[in-house]
Amino acid sequence: MNFKKILASAAILTAAATLFAGCGNSSDSAASNDDKVTVWAWDETFNIKAVNEAKKVYENEDVDVEVVTMSQDDIVQKLNTALASGNTDGLPNIVLIEDYRIQGYLNSYPDAFSDLTDIVDEDNFAAYKFAVNKVGDKIYGVPFDSGVTANFYRTDLLEEAGYSQEDMQNLSWDDYVKVARDVKEKTGKKITEVNPSDLGRVRMIMQEAGEWYTAEDGKTVTIENNQSLKYGLNLFATLLKEDLVEQTSDWNAGVTAIQSGAIASSPIGAWYSSTIQGAKDQSGKWAIAPTPSLPADMQKAQASNLGGAGWYLIKGVSGEKNAKDFLKETFATNADLMGTLAKEIGLVSTMLSAKDQKVYQEPSEFYSGQKVFDDFSKWTAEIPEVNYGQETYAIEAVVAESLHRIINGEDTDKVLADTQKQVEAQLAN
């Protein structure tokens, strides 16, 4: 669905709600709430726990930091509604926003978020984060988790298929297809899990090439003649057509495929590590390799990203000064906190100085003694910068149909030309 349409609908809903509720504006209660800071985020075991750990190290005892848990969908809906109406009543001071979504907010509501340039040292964070959290020279978000990608794989199954750990360190995506065939033939397992409606792995390939569905301006659609998109769609069409992957329909089915031992690898974001480690009986049977490489004339770096988010400060909400100070003293500067979060929730931080934390040098028993945080940190620093634009999910809903057409034998160039026209028409409405 078009982002602007969502916002327009939200504005109507808000107007109606305001009429019945008789809400005033946020300045009415500003004086009484300056010492309270409210944070919205999703995921009790990851993002919420991160804020609670940050509260422990924040030294201003006069400030009460309240953490509110809600689903990401609910956060998006409430933000859309409030920002479209221009009424900040009920909004938090700090909100976690996914990297794929933030440009839509920053461009549609340029005055809704506080400038955080003075508390974020751009040189101390992975460069790719600033392709999405900046407008011009101003930084609006404190970078949080890295979605750095890697190829998680079962050492025992790959060895059975004839591949050593050294072999897995130097795979190309073309090699990955060959490995998939060998794994199926020699072990009876599938190489990975794939939901044909989820193009996350195709996004990985595009960012590895420094490309996206749109150009550097985040607006101009670049689907037709997009070589990395074509490559990614063709690759996964091959994996699906040859029955080399375990097809899944949702998140839970993917988790089951991993933890039941049905698959031999998973190229995915580092945040998926905790899910893989949920299979306690597989401890010591997994290792992590770099993301497979692209053809040399296409690849910008052998590193990519999938997901990730940042912390944003909403203007005009009582307690704004203290909220900014909380971010400054915790997520924006505190490397020790990043070390704690690596240990407690498995966070791969985009703060570059986090690599000096002790936990980053500790071997993982589950991952065959590998220093996984050290590897994740190195790869995070290499991720190409890409502007995700305002319409990633709206565009992807259309592109997902392209994969099905390619699987059914249609010419990829024609499919992408058709998709370009369809997306342009949708975004124009």
**pLDDT 10s digits, 274-315:** 889 989 999 999 999 999 999 999 999 999 999 999 999 999
CA distance linking residue 42 with residue 309, whole number of Å = 11
What the block records as the tokens of 187 is 């072990």
Q: Using CB atoms within 10 A of its CB, is residue 189 exposed (0-12), middle (13-18) or buried (19+)?
A: buried
At residue 274, the pLDDT reads 87
Strand-pairing partners, residue 349, are 145
**pLDDT 10s digits, 87-109:** 999 999 999 999 999 999 999 99
Judge whether 283 and 276 are in contact, CB under 8 Å.
no
What CATH number labels 148-304+386-428?
3.40.190.10
At residue 212, the pLDDT reads 97
Q: Which residue has the tokens 């939200």?
A: 10
CA distance linking residue 35 with residue 285, whole number of Å = 50
**pLDDT 10s digits, 3-62:** 444 444 444 333 333 333 334 444 444 435 789 999 999 999 899 999 999 999 999 999
Grade residue 429 by pLDDT with cuts at 50, 70 and 90: confident
CA distance linking residue 234 with residue 240, whole number of Å = 10
Out of 3.40.190.10, 2.40.320.10, 3.30.429.10, 3.30.1330.40, the CATH code matching 37-146+306-377 is 3.40.190.10
Please determine whether the domains at 37-146+306-377 and 148-304+386-428 fall in the same fold group of CATH. Answer: yes
Residue 1 pLDDT more than 70?
no
**pLDDT 10s digits, 356-369:** 999 999 999 999 99
> Going by C-beta distance under 8 Å and a sequence separation of 6 or more, which residues neighbour residue 84?
7, 8, 10, 11, 14
> Domain segments of the chain: what residues?
37-146+306-377, 148-304+386-428
Judge whether 294 and 173 are in contact, CB under 8 Å.
yes
> Going by C-beta distance under 8 Å and a sequence separation of 6 or more, which residues neighbour residue 238?
177, 244
Grade residue 428 by pLDDT with cuts at 50, 70 and 90: confident
- Amino acid identity at 333: T
Give ∠ CA 217-220-222 in degrees, rounded to 5.
Answer: 115
Q: Which of 101, 98, 96, 134 is nearest to 385 (CA)?
A: 134
Cα 403 from chain centroid? 22
Judge whether 329 and 59 are in contact, CB under 8 Å.
yes
pTM, rounded to two decimals: 0.86
At residue 69, the pLDDT reads 97
